[in-house]
Chain A
Amino acid sequence: MKKHGYGIGNMWYGVGNTAAPNPSGAFVDFLDDGTVIVLSGCADIGQGSSTVLAQIAAETLGVGLENVAVIAADTEVTPDAGATSASRQTYISGNAVRFAAEKAREQVIAQAAERLNLPADNVSLKDGQIWHQDEPTGTKIQDVIAQCRSKGILTLGQGWFNPVTTKLDPLTGQGAPYATYAFATQVAEVEADTETGVIEVKRIVAAHDVGRAINPQNVEGQIEGGCIMGMGYALLEEVAVNQGRIENPALSTYLIPTALDIPEMFPVIVEDEEPSGPYGAKGVGEPALVPTAAAIANAVADALGIRLYDLPLTPEKIVAAIRAAAEESELGLNG
């Protein structure tokens, strides 16, 4: 028999290292022709951090994304940005790049204000131009940079950011271990086959509070990838270790979800802006995966009326649990 079930998984996740400093630094060079070089130690491992850092620099400097080059993760030329871990790079390195870009920007704005005889507070940079309040002035950013150079002024900024945290009391763990937290709710729908014990995940809704989505498609990509990884964690994956030896160190014996297993996924981006984040952003890399197995396990319990307490929820365990429950109820009836 096939039984449907639904389950909720909530999660929270402190962004950055736990109760420990984890600063990131960046340099931003606003060049004569209005193009930009961003130097950051932040390693893009496929999650898209270089794109996000380029977007933050472009936004701050009022230029198109095509004008920004990010040089990342070369210790001889880029400042330390800490590890690509703890869902920290958008929040922490994003802030470092924003602060560095703001310093370069200040030089341009000061010169533009002087040149156009405007109060600096009303001057901004957008679309490659100098703006006065909500109006473009027609003066190009690169012309102002040329003017800076003629006066011997570099439009070069450095910035760094370390999230505000405290240590935890060693006995009670009391303190503020993170400057901000990401939140998420996932709802999973499963179909459980009571004969074979196979659990099919039909749908996952995943609502994630990321503060602000710098790149919504990247956020959705992280959420979908996380859900699939979480599904593997819930149902399939286990490094089998016997007497210290890994028995399945191969793709043929270590099972992960394939394209055939992937459910319909519905990412929902929630933006509850974080005031200390770059343009309000927090992080999403790990949160994407954190509640998935929990939601699936709750959906399986809902479907079967039987709850399992050991991950992964393999067909063997499901069938054994169904049999045990049946035997128990038979005993109950007879007794």
Chain B
Amino acid sequence: MLEGGVVGQSVQRVDGLVKVTGESYFAADEKVPAALVLKVLRSRVAHAVVKRIDISEAEKIPGVVRVFTYADIPGENSYGIMVKDQPVLTDKIRFIGDAIALVVAENPDAARKGAEAVKVETEELPPLYDVWSAMAEGAPPIHDKGNILTVGRVKKGDAAAALSRADVVISRLYRTQRVEHLYLETEAGIAYPEHNGLTIKVSTQNPHYDRRDVARVLGLPMNRVRIIQTPTGGGFGGKLDISVQCFLALAAWKLRRPVRMLYDREESFIATAKRHPFIIDYTSGANREGQLLAVKVRIIGDTGAYASYGPATLIRAAVHATGPYEVPSVDIEGLCVYTNNPFSGAMRGFGTPQMAFAFESQMDLLAQALQISPLEIRRRNILRPGSATATGQVLSDSVGIAKTLAAAWEKACQVMPGLGGENQ
């Protein structure tokens, strides 16, 4: 194969110029004549059954065209990338922010007034705000199948026996927080009926998935739903889920009119996924030479009210829990737990930044206990070609951790004047 072409060159981005000049049209910039606007009425309580929704006053407000509730969904009232557990408009509230009614109006002011005029009667259920109460015996189920959504396990060798033989054992409990993606562009889109079907232009990371769940919710064949991604101002995992898509679809399809929707920053915070907060109970054992013998890890992730990418986050966390190190015996468990908190989903790293905080702290603690340097303990344990991972996968090619460790250290010694000496 000939080399020296365009691969490996820092060419200018194909979309660079229009982004710099401002010619790029984001979803909220789309010109849609006569488009109606949408506003979602969201719950103010965390856990409740909806007993009655009265839209009669709302529909009398000038400029309000229609108010939709769960009873108006033409197809299946549920979506989700991994588990179809999230309703478009709900009759059971599972978090503060759950969507109850969708107001379609001529202008934003009417939409807002319409949402305020919808009357919702609820019967509150005991809310579960932490994973412990959600997992407790007799806890009210947030979803039909109970509050422990998934349990992922990675087991190899006899970790308990290996830990009992270890010269040094370090056990610590780590906690990580819930964070927001905070892409500059909030969720936005437009929709209009076209060619016997429906077109949605939307800021998204996942257009083909969007098509599946929009078709499901509308009860339409997939080939009558068209999703066009608009230039997207960041996603970081937060635009993998459905946000505005099904609201736009429902209104445009039922009313046969163009519609538009834009979340403000507050709604973007409240109504979309966050990074999972983790509780990580981590035990590592090593021999006197600093060689890892075993790890025992229990991870609990709060996925909040809906699954979103929770199961994928927890299994990835479990699979990556050792870090890039060869560990002969592992006993790892990752639990994905429903609560009545804002839901957690995909965010850049899918559970691995949480795990890196834990496994890299453990490495430094082991090094300290054994009086070897943080660099040296890593050198002695990193994966190499031929190493087996925690899942028993033998790596053959492109195992670059020895190279990155050497390259990072070399560069750090050049640019960080205080580094070196005893650290090596």
B121 to chain A, nearest CB (A): 20
Contact A311 B14 (CB under 8 A): no
Contact B266 A249 (CB under 8 A): yes
Interface hits, A218-264 → B, CB 8 Å = 218, 226, 229-230, 232-233, 237-239, 241, 243-246, 249-251, 254, 256, 264
Contact A298 B374 (CB under 8 A): yes
Question: A46 vs B20: C-alpha distance in the bound complex, in angstroms?
Answer: 12
Answer yes or no: B136 CB below 8 A from chain A CBs: no
B234: chain A residues within 8 A (beta carbon): 45-46
How many residue pairs link A and B with beta carbons under 8 A? The number is 387
Contact B348 A285 (CB under 8 A): yes
Question: A249 vs B96: C-alpha distance in the bound complex, in angstroms?
Answer: 13
Contact B127 A243 (CB under 8 A): yes
Question: A229 vs B205: C-alpha distance in the bound complex, in angstroms?
Answer: 19
Contact A241 B341 (CB under 8 A): yes
Contact A76 B209 (CB under 8 A): no
Contact A309 B175 (CB under 8 A): yes
Question: A75 vs B348: C-alpha distance in the bound complex, in angstroms?
Answer: 24
Contact A43 B357 (CB under 8 A): no
B10 to chain A, nearest CB (A): 4
Question: A173 vs B342: C-alpha distance in the bound complex, in angstroms?
Answer: 29
Can you name the residue of chain A whose Cβ is closest to the Cβ of B173? A309
Of the candidate stretches A4-12, A107-115, A146-154, the one touching chain B is A4-12
Question: Out of A8, A13, A74, A286, which one reaches B226, CB within 8 Å?
Answer: A74
A2 to chain B, nearest CB (A): 12
Which of B210, B323, B352, B378 gathers the greatest number of chain A CB atoms within 10 Å?
Answer: B352
Q: Mark B220-257, 1 if CB is under 8 A from A, else 0.
A: 00000111110011111101100000000000000000
Whether A173 contacts B173 in the complex (CB less than 8 A), given A48-B13, A239-B269, A290-B353, comes out as no
A140: chain B residues within 8 A (beta carbon): none
Contact A250 B266 (CB under 8 A): yes
Answer yes or no: B160 CB below 8 A from chain A CBs: no
Contact B177 A237 (CB under 8 A): yes
Whether A254 contacts B352 in the complex (CB less than 8 A), given A43-B229, A183-B400, comes out as no
Question: A280 vs B179: C-alpha distance in the bound complex, in angstroms?
Answer: 34
Interface hits, A69-93 → B, CB 8 Å = 70, 72-76, 80-86
Answer yes or no: B320 CB below 8 A from chain A CBs: yes
Answer yes or no: A44 CB below 8 A from chain B CBs: yes
Contact B180 A237 (CB under 8 A): yes
Contact A84 B226 (CB under 8 A): no
Question: A17 vs B206: C-alpha distance in the bound complex, in angstroms?
Answer: 14
Contact B361 A307 (CB under 8 A): yes
B15: chain A residues within 8 A (beta carbon): 44, 50-51
Question: Out of B182, B233, B349, which one reaches A254, CB within 8 Å?
Answer: B182
Contact A58 B5 (CB under 8 A): yes
Question: Out of A12, A239, A286, which one reaches B178, CB within 8 Å?
Answer: A239
Answer yes or no: A32 CB below 8 A from chain B CBs: no
Whether A209 contacts B361 in the complex (CB less than 8 A), given A11-B324, A59-B6, comes out as no
B173: chain A residues within 8 A (beta carbon): 309
Contact A43 B407 (CB under 8 A): no
Contacts A174-B156, A309-B361, A311-B175 aside, 10 further interface pairs with beta carbons under 8 A come to: A64-B6, A82-B208, A168-B315, A173-B153, A202-B416, A214-B8, A244-B95, A272-B399, A298-B361, A301-B361
Residues of B whose CB lies within 8 Å of any CB of A are 1-2, 5-15, 46-47, 81, 95-97, 127, 129, 152-156, 172-180, 182, 204-211, 225-229, 232-237, 239-240, 265-266, 269-270, 274-275, 312, 315-316, 318-320, 323-325, 332, 340-342, 346, 348-350, 352-353, 356-357, 359-361, 363-365, 374-375, 378, 382-383, 390-393, 395, 397-401, 403-405, 407-409, 411-412, 415-416, 418-419, 423
Task: Sort A-B residue pairs by CB-CB distance and give the 7 closest, nearest first.
Answer: A209-B400, A173-B154, A249-B269, A217-B10, A272-B400, A73-B229, A244-B46
Q: List 8 A-B contacts (CB under 8 A).
A: A12-B383, A172-B155, A175-B393, A182-B400, A184-B404, A209-B398, A216-B9, A294-B357
